[in-house]
Chains A and B, each alone.
With several copies, the nearest count.
Chain A
Amino acid sequence: MISSIVSRVKQKQIAQLIAKGIRLDGRKLTDYREIKIEAGIIERAEGSARVLLGKTQVLVGVKIEVGEPFPDVPDQGVLTVNAELVPLASPTFEPGPPDENSIELARVVDRGIRESKAIALEELCIKPGKKVFIIFIDVYVLNHDGNLIDASGLAALAALLNTKMYNYELENDEIVRKPGYTPLPIRNHPVAVTFGKINNQLVVDPWLEEEQVMDARLTITTDKNENICAIQKGGSGYFTTQQILDATKIAKEKAEELRKLVVEP
């Protein structure tokens, strides 16, 4: 994905370093950049969190509304994940409707949460077939310095853990708010770990400079029971079978480290 001469020079430099097990920013191949997580920073939202992953910055807000369930699961709440690559985050982001990159980002974050059954959607039914709670998770990328998937996944999990629902009772099928709040029922903690393949080697948490030269991307999301719940390969290159198996093992370990930052801070 890179054509200019300058980039080729940098590409070569990055690749040569990685062959020696070193990265341009000094990290080891399986090191994450520094991570900061701040939860609850948007008071208007039912839940929110900001994650700084190096210079990558993602804000996630959770809103809860009342709406209709899907006809095939009439007794479950609805989960909706949306991602906005807002143009202040990168010179390559354009205003306009979501493109394939923001749709892929949203769907990978969605898959991790949905497949690990992180939210107890069956507890979000108000009146079967008629009224359920809709959970809107909005991923807002504020600065793009690589590995948006892991940062967004972490921010989404932190925001969900921070989400409060108002108490209510049903009177004549209408919701009547009662005093107090309850946490959103969260049952699992999916964490995504993303690899870049550069010069035929895997690096964890690729930053922007690495993303620009890497051949392919592999994201492995594992849950708190160490099961894999979602995978996504991206980029115009490929992986060998061995690389995939290696990645799953590293992902499990790394996810455990990251999970601690969110769940027990």
Chain B
Amino acid sequence: MSKPEKLLDKKGLRLDGRKLDELRPIKMEVGVLNNADGSAYLEQGKNKVLAAVYGPKEVHPKHLALADRAILRCRYHMAPFSVEERKSPAPSRREIELSKVIREALEPAVFLEYYPRTAIDIFIEILQADGGTRCAGITTAALALADAGVPMRDLVVACAAGKVDGKLALDLMDLEDKYGEADVPLAMMPGINAVTLLQMDGSLTLEEFQKAVKMAMEGCKQIYEMQKKALKAKYVAIKEEIQE
């Protein structure tokens, strides 16, 4: 994908026709895989993300287990065909860093102390990538954790804001991320105003950054409502199944 001349048109609309503070279309589904203890699927624009949770389960080797709580492990991984140039399936340095920050974004939400000496594994697979996959991964993984019945303080939800052609914009897609001026991915537990992931790259004044954080949080809150709806949909479906 080569660089577009402009990221905003005359009316201030974005390449895909969105307004500056508008999210991409989002679709979520909970409980999509059979073997996992919990799972979820999410589409956000062209991003397609699958997450699965296994656990709480035994830890091997045993000396890695903790006496007073579960260990949370996380792997963020991109399918080789998820991006423009085929990606080697071996984990890249970027994937290793993202696995770490995603784990640390989810960890504050989980009551790990309920399951001493166990492990909870989160696997995130990016099937198609179009910018903002770490945020999409967190949103999806939180649903999978809930689906697995792992007790949490709140759902974790993530969204980025950034700056394109001089304006702050919500939920950047790949071209905006690549050719824009800044990107601020943020994850939070909206119920308790806790920011659990925050990264930034690019260039922003303090004032712009402050606004970008606010914008990302607004995006998070919208997605949070969708998360709750998706979870409800699954349990309604189960209920109907039982009543049939």
Query: Which listed residue, A3, A61, A88, A95, touches B81 by the CB 8 Å rule?
Result: A61
Q: Which of B89, B100, B201 contacts A115 (CB 8 A)?
A: B201
Q: Which residues of A contact B203 (CB under 8 A)?
A: 115-116, 223, 227-229
Partner of B89, one of A84, A104, A231: A84
A93 to chain B, nearest CB (A): 9
* Least Cβ–Cβ distance between B187 and chain A, in angstroms: 9
Identify which of residues 88-134 in chain B touch chain A, using a CB-to-CB cut-off of 8 Å: 89-91, 93-94, 96-97, 99-101, 104, 107-108, 121, 123, 125, 127-130
- Taking CB atoms, residues of chain B closer than 8 Å to A216 are 104, 108
B199, A138: Cβ atoms closer than 8 Å: no
Interface 0/1 of A97-113, CB less than 8 Å to B:
11010011011000100
CB of A21 closer than 8 Å to a CB of B: no
Q: Which chain A residues numbered 35 to 66 have a C-beta less than 8 Å away from chain B?
A: 41-45, 48, 55, 57, 59, 61-63, 65
Q: Mark A212-248, 1 if CB is under 8 A from B, else 0.
A: 0000101000010011111111111111110011001
Known: A231-B199, A241-B217. A44 touches B101 (CB 8 A): no
Contacts of A107 in B (CB 8 A): 93-94, 97
Given contacts A65-B85, A241-B217, contact A227 B198 (CB under 8 A): no
Does A252 lie at the interface of the complex (its beta carbon under 8 Å from any beta carbon of B)? yes
User: Cβ of A245 and Cβ of B210 under 8 Å apart?
Assistant: yes
Given A89-B33, A104-B100, A143-B33, A138 contacting B107 (CB threshold 8 A): no
Q: Cβ of B84: which chain A residues have Cβ within 8 Å of it?
A: 44
Task: Tell whether B14 is near chain A: CB-to-CB under 8 Å.
Answer: no
What is the number of residues of chain A that contact chain B, defined by CB distance less than 8 Å?
Answer: 65
Q: Is B46's beta carbon under 8 Å from chain A?
A: yes
Q: Does B157 contact A (CB under 8 A)?
A: no
Given contacts A42-B48, A115-B201, A230-B200, are A138 and B81 in contact (CB under 8 A)?
yes
Contact check: which of A3, A82, A227, A233 meets B80 at CB < 8 Å? A82
Interface string of A64-88 (1 = CB under 8 A from B): 0100000000000000001010111
Q: Are A3 and B67 in contact (CB under 8 A)?
A: yes
CB pair B194–A239 under 8 Å, yes or no, is yes
Contact B86 A43 (CB under 8 A): no
Shortest C-beta distance, B233 to chain A (Å), equals: 20
B104 A44 Cβ-Cβ under 8 A: no
Interface residues in B, total, Cβ within 8 A: 66
Name the residue on A nearest B144 (C-beta).
A88
A226 to chain B, nearest CB (A): 7
**B23 contacts A by Cβ under 8 Å:** no
Consensus secondary structure, chain B interface: mixed
B108 touches A238 (CB 8 A): yes
Contact B198 A55 (CB under 8 A): no
Known: A90-B35, A241-B217. A63 touches B86 (CB 8 A): yes
> With A42-B82, A138-B81 known to touch, is A143 a contact of B35 (CB < 8 Å)?
yes
In the assembled complex, which residues on chain A have CB atoms less than 8 Å from the CB atom of B164? Answer: none
Distance A87 CA – B121 CA, assembled complex (angstroms): 9
Docked Cα-Cα span, A100 to B101, in Å, equals: 10
Q: Is the CB of B198 within 8 A of A239?
A: yes
Interface check B68, CB cutoff 8 A: yes
Closest B residue by C-beta to A92 = B35
**Is A140 located at the chain interface by the 8 A CB criterion?**
yes
Quick check: is B79 within 8 A (CB to CB) of the other chain? yes
Q: Is the CB of B128 within 8 A of A44?
A: yes
B52: A residues at CB distance < 8 A: 87-89
Partner of A100, one of B79, B96, B217: B96
On whether the beta carbons of A244 and B81 are closer than 8 Å, the reply is: no
Identify the closest chain B residue to A217 (Cβ): B104
Q: Does B213 contact A (CB under 8 A)?
A: yes
| Closest Cβ neighbor of A101 among chain B residues | B100
Q: Give the CA-CA distance A144 to B51 in the complex, in Å.
A: 15
- Give the residue name and chain of the B residue nearest to A90 (CB): B35
Is B68 a contact of A111 with CB atoms below 8 Å? no
Nearest A-chain residue to B90, judged by Cβ: A97
Known A236-B108, A238-B108; contact A44-B81, beta-carbon cutoff 8 A: yes
Interface presence of A136 (CB below 8 A): yes
Residue of A nearest to B178 (CB): A72
8 pairs across A/B with beta carbons < 8 Å?
Answer: A44-B129, A61-B81, A89-B35, A107-B94, A140-B81, A232-B199, A236-B108, A248-B206
Kindly list 10 other residue pairs between chains A and B, CB separation below 8 angstroms, not including A3-B66, A63-B80. A41-B48, A98-B93, A104-B100, A107-B94, A115-B201, A140-B79, A228-B204, A232-B101, A232-B199, A240-B193
